[in-house]
Structure 1
Amino acid sequence: MLKKYVIAIVLFLVQNVVFAQSKGIILGNLKDKNTQEIIFPGTVILEGTEYKTTTDFDGNYKLEVPVGTYNVKAIYSGYVSLIKYNIIVSSGNAQVVNFEMEVVSSQLSEVTVSNDKSKSAVATDMITPLSVQQLTTEEIKSNPGGNFDVSRVIQTLPGVGSSAGGAARNDIIIRGGAPNENVYYLDGIEIPVLNHFQTQGSSGGAQGILNVSFIEDVRLTSSAFDARYDNALASTFVIKQRDGNPERISGNVRAGFTEAVLTLEGLISKKTTFLASARKSYLDFLFGLIDLPIRPNFYDFQYKVTHKIDEKTTLTAIGLGAIDRFTFATTKSSTPENVFITRSQPYINQWNYTTGFNLKRKVKKGYMNFAISRNMFNNQLDKFVSGEKIESDRTFKLVSQEIENKFRFDINKFIDGWKITAGVSA
């Protein structure tokens, strides 16, 4: 009799666990794109299903749905409806999907076209739609051959080229401009180093640093740059990160053929959330197994902390860093000539970081940003006669450092259909 009760309890628990694992959560918020004001009561629906909900007084929403892939649509009267496609919902971590909506343009009831030969026609295009391209995190993750690398996915966009190194490097060439003529912004903070094993004076490298799980969207502009993004000659890349899960601490581990990544997110307090990740490659171990003379290895770290000071003010802290090592080893089949050539090559030791704070304050019909940041890139080359890294055998050493401290302020107003931006940077 006792055995039957035990079996019944076990089956009941297993059924509950299976049911719980078949459900996932989609949550996020709706905001006005131009003023950053919350949208209430906006409606969020899953296309092709009966699931829908409305935002609360803070512009937030939450849906508990079966695991699967959905198209999430945001609707609010007077605003252009938005759809985010192929949102994957799993039972492990909540899927954060935010929307920034634009006001519907005024519609004319009637337009009359007339010809006046005494006047000349002048075409004015303040913003060229064809010069702006945008990628979501799902598009980056699902891109064939992208390998969860933002730079590689961007190289597949129309009008974007790569360097002569092909797949070996992440150099981005826009309209014939050099790779170092692109400017990258992460949540309003300029990041000069975006790749591992980056060539000094360029922006490309062998592998991207950014964790795709952090990214909400990437916006590429190849002309008509926004006034607040200075020093751009070829293009600007504005990378927006999402906030951490505001309900609970969660995480995931992704292990691939060449690297492993740990990502954690959650709430620190009622008004503070965080995202953090660390990645380590094991290319040196794999190359050793197949007896190659090169031994590349890298680490990278990334975090974002968001604190809501009050209803109108938000403080964000971000950080991004990497450590790169490139050494050589003697293989089993190495000839004396091969050993000599290998030892004549310098070892590469690089590390870099970017850290900063961004304070966003809502004002009437707009918002202000105050950003301070510091970035540093350390590049060191070492060469030894024996190849054993013995100081007495050193024949070459080069250490180069680039350090920048930056401040930027901008104010953005949206008045009667006109967008006005002004600011200073140093």
Structure 2
Amino acid sequence: MMGLWKYYWMLLLAVPIAGYSQAVRPVSSGIVRGEVKDKNSGLPLTGALVLVVNDTLRQQTGTDGRYEIKGVPTGYNTLYVDAEGYSGVLTESFLVTTSAPTLVNVELEKRMVTVGEVVVSASPFRPTTESPVSMRRIGTEEIDLTPGANRDISKVVQSAPGVLSVPTANRNDVLVRGGGANENRYYLDGIEIPVLNHFAVQGGSGGNASLVNPELLKSVNFYTGAFPAQFSNGLSSVMDMQMRSGNPDRFHGKLILGASDVGLNVDTPISSNGKTTLTGSFRRSYLQMLFKVLKLPFLPTYNDYQFKINT
């Protein structure tokens, strides 16, 4: 009987020890930092609250408008930023890694408050909440996780309502609401680019590989109607792509080997104080070497590069 009691007490002591060891198990995490500014004046905002969505992590900006949140779980995350007198902003999803801090800069707009006479009246119609149906916002997470898109922005938008694709193998032509492939307009940081794909045919913009590296994109707005004033030359659709800024802390590079090309991504500061940054990429196809060995009559080759300097 005494032997049974001895094992019983040993079991009771082992349970809390096991639970404690599981609770302190380290979790992979990274750092998120950036700056919060006034959208109109560009001045830094002091005391703005920065929250990690679906987490308890939070931080307030200092006198220089900067913040830094440590221990953010790796993977895709989203921030909510709010300040007194300003409208809150929910950022695009961004990828957090352990290799380098993630930079997320946010601009807030002042909340307009009008004080005056208020007239309350009943309406015979039931009000409904308006929702924009002609604009689709695409984040980097959706670009990475869309099945069959192979991280190609042209293939991602083909799953949008009212968009058709050309039933030809390896073609990225986009047909919106019955329009032609040459009726779409593409903008990168507000600058119009004539085509979006390599090997585009005359009168269209669809090739078999995208010109834009999705690694450098922050977000994409895809309009199928009701285009903003600055994009008034669109007929069927407008794709507004925004590039992210470079890392102000240290050099960060990535070598990518794909099914048909090899590429190099660079993310680095180019000034000692980190106020001027560079992000860019270069890609080159290598299928022509394989086709030459196989003695095929066609030798497709392409190169593309893009970069952004932010100061």
Same fold (TM over 0.5): yes
CA contact (8 A) 1:199 1:205 kept: yes
CA contact (8 A) 2:185 2:237 kept: yes
CA contact (8 A) 1:128 1:224 kept: no
Cα distance between partner residues in 2 of 1:56 and 1:193: 43
CA contact (8 A) 1:287 1:294 kept: yes
Asked if residue 44 in structure 1 is aligned to residue 44 in structure 2, the reply is no
- Greater mean deviation of Cα atoms: 61-70 or 76-85: 76-85
- Offset of residue 193 of structure 1: 2.0
- Offset of residue 147 of structure 1: 1.2
Cα distance between partner residues in 2 of 1:255 and 1:97: 27
Say which SS state the counterpart of residue 140 (structure 1) adopts: helix
Cα distance between partner residues in 2 of 1:246 and 1:74: 21
Cα distance between partner residues in 1 of 2:39 and 2:104: 15
Say which SS state the counterpart of residue 233 (structure 2) adopts: coil
Say which SS state the counterpart of residue 143 (structure 2) adopts: helix
Instruction: Read off the aligned partner of 2:231 and give its amino acid letter.
Output: Y
Asked if residue 197 in structure 1 is aligned to residue 204 in structure 2, the reply is no
- Offset of residue 71 of structure 1: 3.5
Cα distance between partner residues in 1 of 2:112 and 2:100: 37
Cα distance change on mapping 1:248 and 1:207 into 2, 3 Å: same
CA contact (8 A) 2:164 2:175 kept: yes
The equivalent residue for 1:301 is 305
Instruction: Read off the aligned partner of 2:122 and give its amino acid letter.
Output: V
Q: Following superposition of structure 1 onto structure 2, how do residues 134-213 of structure 1 map, counting pairs within 5 Å? A: 134-165=137-168, 167-213=169-215
CA contact (8 A) 1:243 1:304 kept: yes
CA contact (8 A) 1:93 1:251 kept: no
The equivalent residue for 1:132 is 135
The equivalent residue for 1:401 is none
- Offset of residue 230 of structure 1: 3.5
- Offset of residue 207 of structure 1: 0.7
Structure 2's unaligned 5+ residue stretches are 1-25
The equivalent residue for 1:112 is 121
- Offset of residue 184 of structure 1: 1.2
The equivalent residue for 1:254 is 256
CA contact (8 A) 2:264 2:282 kept: yes
How many corresponding residue pairs?
278
Cα distance change on mapping 1:223 and 1:128 into 2, 3 Å: farther
Cα distance between partner residues in 2 of 1:103 and 1:154: 33
Please report the RMSD computed on the Cα atoms of aligned residues, expressed in angstroms: 3.2
Cα distance between partner residues in 2 of 1:67 and 1:29: 20
Cα distance between partner residues in 2 of 1:201 and 1:128: 34
The equivalent residue for 2:83 is 76
Cα distance between partner residues in 1 of 2:133 and 2:112: 19
CA contact (8 A) 2:32 2:72 kept: no
Say which SS state the counterpart of residue 129 (structure 1) adopts: coil
Structure 1's unaligned 5+ residue stretches are 1-19, 116-120, 122-126, 308-426
- Offset of residue 195 of structure 1: 0.8
- Offset of residue 264 of structure 1: 0.7
More strand by share: 1
Q: TM-score if structure 1 supplies the norm length?
A: 0.58
Cα distance between partner residues in 1 of 2:96 and 2:123: 54
Instruction: Read off the aligned partner of 1:113 and give its amino acid letter.
Output: A
- Greater mean deviation of Cα atoms: 56-65 or 97-106: 97-106
Identical aligned residues as a percent: 37
CA contact (8 A) 2:57 2:72 kept: no
Q: TM-score if structure 2 supplies the norm length?
A: 0.77
